[in-house]
């Protein structure tokens, strides 16, 4: 499977990442990518950039070092209502938006009912394109229901390579991703692969995720990272 696009990465403005936009673009080119999504942490994440950063993204060229850039955000899902930490007036300016549950930012009681309510309501927002790392066992999920909602709304579900690393802090991610992929395969629901790179050398490092896809005999046509056109169709919904 040839990967031409990484849909989840962070530059130093996210606060706990270490490379510039130019360094990320250059490394993407060196690794043979055609496209890269830079999805900075939204304002509720401790240490990240101010909302002014996102409001000014128009100044950044969408091609750099020969790589197509998708400038966007990784939103924080705040509670069971599906509230996120960016107004629609700013979100409309994003090329791409991931929405994720992060421990420091989710303020609802962590129950399967609240987590599923949060995901369902977020997926109903057409300005949000990807659910980030829904594999974290600290936030219980009904994966069949999640996949069916993704199919209904045209939302991508992410397999996050950083989550799958043995030293990662998320819980039971491999088994959870395996279950999710089985349902995505059953219901023909596309996925995205994200490195979640926080430094340039980690861009497109997707070896564990790709190994899991191979184990699950997951069809290449359901992976948006193999053609930029696949992602653009999702973004246009």
Q: Cα(183)–Cα(193) distance, rounded to whole angstroms?
A: 16
**97-136 per-position pLDDT tens digit:** 999 999 999 999 999 999 999 999 999 999 999 999 999 9
Q: Cα(189)–Cα(30) distance, rounded to whole angstroms?
A: 31
Q: Domain tally for the chain?
A: 1
77 is in which domain, residue-wise? 5-235
Question: Residues with Cβ < 8 Å from 6, sequence gap 6 or more?
Answer: 28, 33, 35, 36, 37, 193, 194, 195, 197, 203, 204, 206, 225
Among 105, 95, 162, residue whose Cα is nearest residue 130: 95
The domain that holds 183 is classified in CATH as 3.20.20.140
Q: Give the DSSP letter string of 158-198.
A: EEEHHHHSTT-SSSSHHHHHHHHHHHHHHHT--EEEE--BS
**193-228 per-position pLDDT tens digit:** 999 999 999 999 999 999 999 999 999 999 999 999
**29-51 per-position pLDDT tens digit:** 999 999 999 999 999 999 999 99
């Amino acid at each position: 499977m040839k990967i031409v696009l990484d849909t989840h990465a962070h530059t130093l403005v996210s606060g706990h990442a270490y490379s510039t936009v130019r360094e990320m673009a250059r490394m993407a080119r060196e690794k043979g990518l055609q496209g890269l999504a830079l999805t900075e942490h939204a304002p509720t994440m401790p240490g990240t950039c101010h909302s002014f950063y996102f409001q000014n993204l128009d100044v950044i060229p969408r091609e750099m070092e020969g790589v197509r850039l998708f400038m966007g955000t990784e939103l924080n899902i705040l509670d069971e209502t599906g509230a996120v930490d960016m107004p629609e007036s700013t979100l409309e300016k994003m090329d791409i938006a991931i929405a994720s549950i992060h421990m420091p930012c989710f303020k609802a009681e962590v129950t399967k009912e609240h987590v599923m309510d949060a995901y369902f309501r977020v997926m109903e927002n057409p300005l949000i394109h990807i659910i980030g790392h829904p594999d974290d066992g600290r936030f219980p999920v009904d994966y069949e229901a999640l996949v069916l909602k993704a199919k209904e709304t045209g939302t991508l579900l992410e397999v996050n390579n950083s989550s799958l690393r043995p030293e990662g802090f998320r819980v039971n991610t491999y088994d959870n991703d395996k279950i999710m992929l089985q349902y995505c395969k059953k219901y023909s629901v596309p996925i995205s692969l994200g490195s979640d790179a926080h430094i340039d050398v980690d861009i497109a490092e997707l070896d564990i995720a790709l190994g899991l896809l191979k184990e699950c005999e997951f069809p290449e046509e359901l992976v948006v990272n193999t053609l930029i056109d696949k992602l653009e169709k999702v973004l246009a919904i």
